[in-house]
Amino acid sequence: MKYVSTRGNYQPVSAAEAIRLGMVPTGGLFVPEKIPTFSKEKLTELVGKSYQDIAQQILAEFLTDYTAKELEEVVNAAYNETNFATEEIAPYVKLDEQSYVLELWHGPTAAFKDMALQLMPHLLVKAIEKVDLDKEIVILVATSGDTGKAALEGFKDVEGIKIIVFYPAGGVSKVQEQQMVTTTGTNTSVVAVEGNFDDCQSSVKEIFGDQGFKELLEEHDYQFSSANSINWGRLVPQIIYYFASYASLVADGQLEVGEQINISVPTGNFGNILAAYYAYRMGLPVNKFICASNDNKVLTDFLQTGVYDSNRDFKRTISPSMDILISSNLERFLFEMTDHDAAKIEEWYQDLEQTGKFEIGQAVQEQIKELFVGEYATEEETVKTIKQIYESKDYVVDTHTAVGIKAYQKYLADYDDPTLTVIDSTANPYKFSAAVLEAVQGELETEDEFEILSQLEELTGLEIHRGLRDLEEKEVRHDRGCQTTEIKDEVKDILGLR
């Protein structure tokens, strides 16, 4: 299978090439030329299979230039008992008669990014072998918190790769920061940037597009790649858990094969929900996608009005991994929704670049509305949802998951839809323990985030995620910081290019 640019400005490439390049060098994102389909028979055959088996099967559909043996190797290297604390890899919890929470945070760093980032580095290493590149790969990551640590863990000590992570100073939780700055590995760097996530992301994107810088790197035998969710290697692993959870629900007698489900996804860059959409296009029976946002509800407004308008105040919320005004992966979705109309995509994204907004027109909007509903949760609603779920179900959810649950509750209130619904749980509650403890307890007795971890454990009895235990005792290994305008210099410094 070949991968094409959403903007029609690049020749079709293999999966390995798309993964190696990260994004299209001339702008745009790589997407599969044609989405493979899964018949009902094939779907039925998944029932009872292990996560690893399902993973191999889904990956084989998209990564046709990887051999079955290679896929088996990468899957086993990623989804094993050392990296994931449960045999199911992504288990679900039944919340009530018609909704299920899909726990995507059993990997090493307590956030759903592990689902993709434990696998993606192995795909990248194989990709480099395939295109026979003798350059060292430099991974640049802009993170609003969770991607950073997940990428560091996924890439650390992987041969032939260096990873540099930029995060907004003060824009991630203390625990997230501590997770990142204590990362071991000889090939890892972490930099705090004075600015918000969008500033970080656009500076990193700018570096990717900088021809002169690229040449400088090449002179030193380096080449950039990206581990952000714009890389196809990040997206494809996320398709797996939608099939795997569906198969588990069928195996457990909760669902009949062929029966539709709804999927509610707390959304930021639109990657996770896009993976669900690809699963649907492959044949997963889905009725509605609930795109859940926090107060940065640019996607909710977009789905309601057909206008994507990023000209608004950036808000810092208690669900910071969704504090995003430019949802990069939406571009891939719009490419599908316009039947691969690259000229349209180019036009809209030119508009976005020049004016901060674009409008998709009624026809495309109607089509999207048939499948997607946008709902959002305010800060207060998020807090109340955490408390409500804890008190009524004795189940602790993090702030992002609470946004997904609240959005689903709002959807139910609007549409009264009895379809079984899977709600993605994207982080372990301990990853955002201050907000969670405050929600459950009413107020905080301390500001010390590490003390808060213990208090939350004492109160709820839920064991602290292994990736967050004893964090404060770990040695800080990274103390770099810079302005957004200095990101490029920082990269040069780290790579020894000056």
Ligand X SMILES: *Cc1c(COP(=O)(O)O)cnc(C)c1O
294 is a contact residue toward ligand X (CB under 6 A):
no
Distances (CA, A) of 282 to 43, 209, 258: 10, 33, 13
Helix (H, G, I), strand (E, B) or coil at 190: strand
Q: Is 271 in the site for ligand X (CB under 6 A)?
A: yes
Residue numbers 68-127 binding ligand X by CB under 6 A = 111-113
Single residue of 321, 338, 455, 484 touching ligand X by CB under 6 A? 321
**Is residue 113 annotated as part of the catalytic site, yes or no?**
yes
* Binding residue count for ligand X, defined by CB under 6 A: 17
Q: Does 426 bind ligand X (CB under 6 A)?
A: yes
In the bound complex, what is the minimum distance in angstroms from residue 335's beta carbon to ligand X? 17
Q: Which residues make Cβ contacts (< 8 Å) with residue 497, sequence separation at least 6? A: 216, 217, 220, 491
Q: Is 268 in the site for ligand X (CB under 6 A)?
A: yes
Q: What share of the chain is helix, strand, coil (3-state, %, to 5)?
A: 50, 15, 35
Q: What is the largest CA-CA distance in the chain?
A: 62
Instruction: Work out how close the CB of 282 gets to ligand X at its nearest, in angstroms, rounded to a whole number.
Output: 18
Residue 433 sits in the site that holds ligand X (CB under 6 A): no
**Is there binding between residue 146 and ligand X (CB under 6 A)?**
yes
Report in angstroms how near the CB of residue 317 gets to ligand X at its nearest.
11
Q: Does 427 bind ligand X (CB under 6 A)?
A: yes
CB of 145 to ligand X, least distance (A): 7
| Residue choice 14, 56, 196, 229 for contact with ligand X (CB under 6 A) | 229
- Nearer of residues 59 and 322 to ligand X, judged by Cβ: 322
If binding is defined by CB under 6 A, does position 279 make contact with ligand X? no
310 binds ligand X (CB under 6 A): no
Q: Please identify, using beta-carbon distances, which residue of 99 and 329 lies nearer to ligand X.
A: 329
Binder among 272, 293, 300, 382 for ligand X (CB under 6 A): 272
CA 11 – CA 33 distance, rounded (Å): 11
Q: Are 104 and 139 in contact (CB under 8 A)?
A: no
Q: One of 42, 113, 126, 384 is an active-site residue; which one?
A: 113
Beta pairing, strands 136-142 & 99-103: unpaired
Burial class from Cβ neighbours inside 10 Å (0-12, 13-18, 19+) for residue 32 reads buried
The residue among 269, 260, 325, 335 whose CA lies nearest residue 297 is 325
Rounded Cα distance between 285 and 40, Å, is 9
- DSSP code at position 118: T
196 near ligand X (CB under 6 A): no
Per CB under 6 A, residues contacting ligand X are 111-113, 146, 229, 266-272, 321-322, 400, 426-427
Q: Which residues are catalytic?
A: 113
